[in-house]
Chains A and B, each alone.
Chain A
């Protein structure tokens, strides 16, 4: 009995910690989707780039991955702005038969990034062997006669807390500053925002940069607890859009909840069904969300607000 409870609680903790990090990835994606109305299928690859930056900073200069939070996201911000200005903006203006050209374009960008990473850094698995990687807090340290044992990994918890901190900072930025308000106005109604004097084109560039910086931050938080290889990007791109659909397109609150749900769900499938099936669970929940809850968690929140 205790053993089962222990496994369950441990899985739940792992899921919530993972979900907190997923939320950060999802928020970047949902911001871009909300403002630009395009799916950024190169989101995970941007995270991979950030992870490589953190990795090289660690192995060449022994900069702690958490310190590179101050370096990698700003670089990603610039990269995102460049991609938006140089490649995506021109495509938005081109007339073509298919309306999904921008999506295919982001796939192309992702291919280039992933392949360049393979060429320059080889496809070896890498990690940053920080000396606190295996440290953890144990329940028995605090409660001596505990009937079961739970552990809370040190780097996972730090990553989780930092992720919460960044999300809070983003929330302040979006709700309290003029630029943040302009971004939200652009997402709500582009034409109206333009009429109110918002520089919509500039907001798009900023948003793409911001989304890239957020996923870059997520990369820095992931590298101490995960391993890194060039093809990792596509996996996280998939995760990012599952979160976005689960949360509701363009909703920040939804992305946070979606990330948490996905984290817990994945960790549960891994424990109770089997490691290999975790990705299937991820997509099953995704298709279920598309069919039964197309507005995502955000639509539930909205419905509640209306009925109040």
Chain B
């Protein structure tokens, strides 16, 4: 039975558009699914392989710009951005990997953070290519949300399956071995640099897809938005931290919570501007009390709330 849960969830999500939900609710669902793609991608590198990246906005933004520029400069449909983004994002990830993957712990965190920022500043300054802070505006393909919803849902299903297959393969065990003790993994004959690079590249490509979808869906991007440290890199980490590190469902649960929180809080009068404070407080509380996230620490939660928590 447990094996079919992903399929059941997918089927339930697939019939959602037939319920005649309002366009705003569909928008929320699209955002949730998009963030869970980003979260799942980050989770592969951060959760399973233990390499906490603060620079995933670099890949998100690159994916978005691939889609945008294909349409803006070449006049192609922005959907080609998905295909175009793969080589660009993968090569960027490999170059980045060359630099940052030989670093450990705090060095790695800082290096990824810096590379994400370099990408943003480069995009801001290469005005001939990217229009700088003016941003890029494209014609959206559909006004209706349903098509976008199915595309991102398919993408999410693909990401989920890919990460599940990868995490349960030999490679997945290598990733976890690297996370738990890199020196021990190395001494067992695991080529740690190679496997960290694989994790980074796969994680980057899926994040790039998420970015390319963002461009297609939103129709407008600028460097401050898609390369943002706070709104992309850190929000991705929060999605995974809140949901559960190194779990299949963690990023999805995290995305639901973060998107709903963001929308609910931002729509409240007065408190709306304080949403980052509440995010920060949530992050602090999660790290202190549920360091492995809602899914990862669900036994702890169940103990707290009695049987009610166990059922949820």
Contacts and interface: CB of A to CB of B under 8 A. Distances in A.
B158 interface: no
Given A104-B283, A283-B114, A97 B288 contact: no
Nearest to A284: B118
Interface in A277-295: 277, 279-280, 283-284, 286-287, 290-291, 294
Interface stretch (A53-61, A87-95, A137-145, A204-212): A87-95
B46 interface: yes
Interface string B85-112: 0000000000000011001011101110
Most buried by B among A274, A277, A290: A290
Given A103-B52, A290-B103, A291-B99, A279 B117 contact: yes
Measured as residues with beta carbon below 8 angstroms from the partner, the interface class of chain B is 35 or more
A283 B117 contact: yes
B280 A294 contact: no
B124 A91 contact: no
A260 interface: no
Interface in A184-235: 234
Interface string A47-65: 0000000000000000000
Contact of B124 (A103, A241, A276): A276
A234 B231 CA distance: 13
Nearest to B122: A280
A112 B282 CA distance: 10
A119 B277 contact: yes
Nearest to A275: B125
A79 interface: no
A98 interface: yes
Interface in B41-58: 46-47, 50, 52, 54
| SS class, residues of chain A in contact with chain B | helix
Contact of A112 (B110, B125, B229, B281): B281
Q: Interface size bucket, A side?
A: 35 or more
A115 B291 contact: no
Interface string A81-116: 000000100110011111111011101111110111
B114 A238 contact: yes
B118 A111 contact: no
Given A104-B283, A105-B287, A241 B110 contact: yes
Contacts of A110: 280
Given A276-B125, A280-B121, A105 B283 contact: yes
Interface in A2-60: 33, 37-39
Contact of A294 (B107, B121, B276): B107
A179 interface: no
A118 interface: yes
Interface in A124-179: none
A39 B106 contact: yes
Q: Which 3 A-B pairs have the closest CB atoms?
A: A96-B291, A112-B280, A111-B280
24 contacts: A37-B106, A94-B287, A96-B245, A96-B291, A97-B291, A97-B292, A99-B105, A100-B52, A100-B106, A103-B106, A104-B52, A107-B54, A108-B279, A108-B283, A109-B280, A111-B276, A112-B284, A115-B273, A115-B276, A115-B280, A284-B118, A290-B103, A294-B103, A294-B107
